[in-house]
Structure 1
Amino acid sequence: MRFLGHSTVRLQMGGRVLLTDPVLTPRIGPLRRVVPGPDASDVRDVDLVLISHLHADHLHLPSLRMLPRDVRVVVPRGAGTWLRGKGVARVEELGIGERRDVDGLRITGVPADHSGHRWGPRLTHGPQSSAMGHLLEADGMRVYVSGDTGLFDGMDDVAAAGPIDLAALPVWGWGPNLGPGHLDPARAADAVARLRPRVAVPVHWGTLALTGLAGMPGPAGARMRRLLVAPPYEFAAAVAAAGHPTDVLVVPPGEPVEPERAR
């Protein structure tokens, strides 16, 4: 596994190379990447992409167009027609509770507590589909990638079918505050208590910020600079303080997870 920044994780499972929610460019609208982007070697052999929801920092069209044209892109059910209309060639849909077997890899759609509208929860027109996470099973491992989510009823059920070896959990976002449908370090530690993974990797931190905000003098800039660094360590401390046996691996964006610790 390699954490490429924000919610983008590269995984090799079941003979596939997959990315979650790929964000590969230096900018997304008003957001600027504050760490180096992925290497070409991180994306040239990708053959499967999993999209958790339609927000532009998770379903990022310019990033999808940087991938091989024949890559399979799996989106939440209901979003396929819209994405095909944007020129993405191989689009497949997966609903919550549905399973798909891709060679040696099983993908199960799981719930998430997050807005599924392309442009936010206050709008009613335009692309809409349910936000979701993914449970991946292959090679004797079970990996949970939550996407953006808050705590939700039934999160315990994600682990009901068997122990989770690795969970990629969001611990912040890209701004000075979090809206609904997100995990902060404390809530992410509560998620660990429900999921009971052997290893947890914090994601959705340290990658994007509003242009210029982190460089501002005064309290606003200082807060943003702290939030680009502190959340995963606060998450690890909260998991340890609660006495959970989960091993938290804090991996800076762009760094691999040590295979011996992830297995």
Structure 2
Amino acid sequence: MTTSRAGELAKLHRSIPVARYRSLVGHWIARWFRPPRPAQHTPVVKPREGECVVTFAGHASVIARYPSLSIAFDPMLGRWVGGVRRAVEPGVAPGDFEDVGLVLISHRHADHLHIPTLKLLPRKATTIVVPAGGAQWVSDLGFARVIELAPGADLELRGIQVIAYATSHGEGELARGLSYVVRPVPGTTEPPGPSLYLCGDSGYFSGFVDIGERFAPDIAFLPIGGFYPSSFRARHMSPLDALYAFEDLRARLMVPIHHGAFPLSYERLDEPARWLLELATSRGVRDHVMVMTAGQTERFPALP
């Protein structure tokens, strides 16, 4: 990350205007006895030519449907991450993944690589992509193909190109991971559908600038939760960090993910989305931020 932007963000985070849990563990225990709130499920529609239909499945899970291929990113339907109970249902069911032909996994943490959910997905004709060295995590699940990608590598499937990029989420096998640029292969469809950027977990870093200069994706799905206390920002962007990343990516629309489902840090569960909208309004980019609720489906044409 550039020194100037890093320093600017550090100064802006000296005071973080979010409500916090007094005791995170106490909140976890209290939630053990409360079932997740229901989520409104929007009927899934088929994409038309030049469209991508996106369903937000809660937490960091996204289903992106192009006319030729449906893609699931970090699918997670479970009600628990360790001892942390889900607060809101995902708004989708296993049947909503029946048309998925490609699964993208960002990294090995259990709220992103959720084996019980993967076992519910169609696998006999489905390809799954994992970070380099990660095939062993999913090799016995029965997927048609398991592909490892290193940062900078890519694959093409049914007219869709996926390019892998590094993230900044810490060291070690569990944390090292990928983000993905997803786009119709140039020249194969007319009009082309929108390009996407999918990021599961990351702190703010200079890699976003590189992606923006090369691709300028139409829609950026960026994580905004798990950032408090401020020391967590090295691995989880705050809403303010995410807006800076959105700017670096040169994207046209930001859809926040990794918020609202699991209370994994001290900011209250609804605070990331609230603060993001407040920031977007004050910075004049409210029309470029769409907060989707769990289970919500939207049509996205190629953006001008």
User: Which bin holds the TM-score, normalised by the shorter protein?
Assistant: 0.7 to 0.9
Counterpart in the other structure of 1:187:
241
The unaligned stretches of length 5 or more in structure 1 are 121-129, 214-222
When residues 186 and 95 of structure 1 are mapped into structure 2, their CA distance, relative to the original with a 3 A threshold, is same
TM-score normalised by length of structure 2: 0.71
Counterpart in the other structure of 1:39:
93
2:194 equivalent among 131, 141, 150: 141
When residues 118 and 163 of structure 1 are mapped into structure 2, their CA distance, relative to the original with a 3 A threshold, is closer
Counterpart-to-counterpart distance in 2, 1:66 and 1:144: 25
Counterpart in the other structure of 2:35:
none
RMSD: 2.6
Counterpart in the other structure of 1:208:
262
Tell me how far 1:77 sits from its aligned partner. 1.0
Larger Rg: 2
Secondary structure, aligned partner of 1:115:
coil
Counterpart-to-counterpart distance in 2, 1:44 and 1:140: 21
Counterpart-to-counterpart distance in 2, 1:44 and 1:177: 40
Letter in 2 for 1:3: F
8 A Cα contact 2:66 2:193, kept in partner: no
Counterpart-to-counterpart distance in 2, 1:154 and 1:50: 19
Tell me how far 1:192 sits from its aligned partner. 1.6
2:134 equivalent among 58, 67, 79: 79
Tell me how far 1:257 sits from its aligned partner. 2.9
Task: Give yes or no for the alignment of 1:112 onto 2:167.
Answer: yes
8 A Cα contact 1:54 1:116, kept in partner: no
Q: Deviation string for 1:172-205 (max 9, x for gaps)?
A: 0398887231111111111122112111001000
Secondary structure, aligned partner of 2:57:
strand
Tell me how far 1:83 sits from its aligned partner. 2.7
Counterpart in the other structure of 2:81:
28
When residues 173 and 44 of structure 1 are mapped into structure 2, their CA distance, relative to the original with a 3 A threshold, is farther
Counterpart-to-counterpart distance in 2, 1:243 and 1:175: 25
8 A Cα contact 2:60 2:258, kept in partner: yes
Letter in 2 for 1:247: H
Output aligned runs, 1:96-107, within 5 Å: 96-107=151-162
The unaligned stretches of length 5 or more in structure 2 are 1-53, 185-191
1:161 equivalent among 195, 214, 220: 214
1:51 equivalent among 94, 98, 105: 105
Tell me how far 1:155 sits from its aligned partner. 1.3
Alignment size in residue pairs: 240
Secondary structure, aligned partner of 2:65:
strand
Q: Deviation string for 1:81-121 (max 9, x for gaps)?
A: 3431x43433111110011111210000012101364556x
TM-score normalised by length of structure 1: 0.82
When residues 236 and 88 of structure 1 are mapped into structure 2, their CA distance, relative to the original with a 3 A threshold, is farther
Task: Give yes or no for the alignment of 1:94 onto 2:140.
Answer: no
Counterpart-to-counterpart distance in 2, 1:82 and 1:103: 25
Counterpart in the other structure of 1:67:
121
Counterpart-to-counterpart distance in 1, 2:67 and 2:230: 38
Letter in 2 for 1:255: Q
Secondary structure, aligned partner of 1:148:
coil
